[in-house]
Structure 1
Amino acid sequence: MLSPDTPAARLNAVREKLARAARAAGRPPEAIELIAISKTHPAEDILPLIAAGQTSFGENRVQEAQAKWPALKEAHPSLRLHLVGQLQSNKAEDAVALFDAIHGVDRTSLVDALAKAIVKSDRRPALFVQVNIGEEAQKGGCAIADLPHLLAHCESVGLTIAGLMCVPPADTEAAPYFALLAKLAHDHGLAQLSMGMSGDYETAAMLGATCVRVGTALFGARA
């Protein structure tokens, strides 16, 4: 029996809860990608999760990811790396070179930078438009009212958008925000939803998430 506080045990517990939530909503558990948010954690903390079968990881800073992920991806070619933090336009080329998915597309200047980087590198990471779903001034993300314009701009420069991403306001019930993001994605014909973190990934799974971004529940609390 697994010790309750090993990486493998934490991963197993999250997977079981995710699967239960998906089945309760009539969804196949394999339709949801579990992204282990490894930001601030060194490679030695990541390796046990890889050994336990985890293949998708997320970072929120390009520079931090560049320091640890090239070697990890070379050793484990099946890994998928997601950028889940805000991206500066001048880092677009670096991000396209390293990441398999970018979740923070939120403005036309970044769209233009990503389009140029994708043409130059011939790499096409999955792209998610981040929506400021709670209309919070301190958070990144495209305003809900600006979403149609941003998506049209993506199309005009040849970028394919996989789906939408959000971070609901802290300390509030997340379900209404997840439901709103799902409606926005449906209205715009987008299939993927990046939503849900350690405290609410089960709710997100029941409301249509195709990616959940889980850090603390897998790695434990940060120092």
Structure 2
Amino acid sequence: MTAGRRDELAASLAEVRERIARACVDAGRPADDVTLVAVTKTYPASDVVLLAGLGVTDVGENRDQEAGPKAAAVRAEGAAPRWHFIGQLQRNKARSVLAYADVVESVDSVRLATAVDRAAAGRPTPLEVLVQVSIDGDPDRGGAAGDDIWRISDLVAASAALRLGGVMAVAPQDWDPDRAFEHLATVTARLVSIHPEATTVSAGMSGDLEAAIRHGATHVRIGTSLLGMRNTLR
């Protein structure tokens, strides 16, 4: 872990935090309303350790085969970020992911919710689950739509092993971000009316975090703006 890499990350982190703060001011929200989730897929465990030392508390990964060993390596270095699993999750991988994940953001079907519930049995504390919402209803993109959102959320909320945190979504590339996150805000409002505790909204990435915050995001998932392009790393 070079001092140069730490300086790079510190500078990028300061810029991202400033963007979040400005977006919160513009939205009339306090800056501490929004949590930064550093998306560290394809980046080494050493970067996660450096980010943790710089005050980053939440880390997102989307591939179990990479995330599991990375989480173990980070733990061995004495760092303890909160791990978010944000990728598509196969039912047969639920137990493996739950060995390190504190939050699973990508539950998008009743069958997956049931598998995660079974895998979480016996945990000392409930696993936080977010319902992944499909903005455009395209099944190929992942995410739940229509009544499936409420079926999944009801199942999670009723589980002793799970805790319904809220929702997650990715704005489709062919949608205006404001339109996408406005739609998500409507879903969130209905969800909170049914489950008042489900206030987490994970939305927004490097290119659209301002729009996400404008429409109520509580968590933004930032990779490139924070860690740089993977092939430029030394």
Q: Structure 2-normalised TM-score?
A: 0.87
Match of 1:43 in 2: 45
Once the two structures are overlaid, the 10-residue window that deviates more, 121-130 or 206-215, is 121-130
Please give the root-mean-square deviation of Cα atoms over the aligned residues, in Å.
2.0
Question: Which residues of 2 match residues 195-206 of structure 1 at below 5 A?
Answer: 195-206=203-214
Match of 1:103 in 2: 105
1:174 CA drift (Å): 0.8
Alignment pair present for 1:217 and 2:225: yes
SS in 2 for 1:161: strand
Question: Which residues of 2 match residues 117-132 of structure 1 at below 5 A?
Answer: 117-132=119-134
Aligned residues: 221
Distance 2:25 2:139 in 1: 36
Within the candidate set 37, 53, 67, 2:69 is matched to 67
Distance 2:144 2:81 in 1: 29
Distance 2:60 2:89 in 1: 13
Distance 1:221 1:198 in 2: 12
1:139 CA drift (Å): 0.8
Distance 1:155 1:14 in 2: 33
Deviations 1:56-112 (A, max 9, x none): 111001121111112313434541111010111111112222111110011111111
Does the aligned pair in 2 maintain the 1:131–1:144 contact within 8 Å? no
Identity within the alignment, %: 38
Q: Read off the aligned partner of 1:9 and give its amino acid letter.
A: A
- Unaligned 5+ segments in structure 1 are none
Once the two structures are overlaid, the 10-residue window that deviates more, 102-111 or 91-100, is 91-100
Within the candidate set 195, 213, 216, 1:208 is matched to 216
Alignment pair present for 1:83 and 2:85: yes
Distance 1:124 1:62 in 2: 20
Distance 1:93 1:123 in 2: 15
Match of 1:167 in 2: 170
1:12 CA drift (Å): 0.3
Match of 2:155 in 1: 153
1:114 CA drift (Å): 1.3
Does the aligned pair in 2 maintain the 1:136–1:169 contact within 8 Å? no
Distance 1:59 1:182 in 2: 24
Does the aligned pair in 2 maintain the 1:164–1:193 contact within 8 Å? yes
Deviations 1:120-150 (A, max 9, x none): 3334221100011122232111123421222
Does the aligned pair in 1 maintain the 2:48–2:74 contact within 8 Å? no
Q: Read off the aligned partner of 1:180 and give its amino acid letter.
A: H
1:157 CA drift (Å): 4.1
Deviations 1:165-195 (A, max 9, x none): 1011114311111111111111121311000
Change (3 A) 1:10 1:171: farther
- Unaligned 5+ segments in structure 2 are 193-197
Q: Structure 1-normalised TM-score?
A: 0.91
Distance 1:151 1:44 in 2: 36
Distance 1:156 1:48 in 2: 38
Alignment pair present for 1:193 and 2:166: no
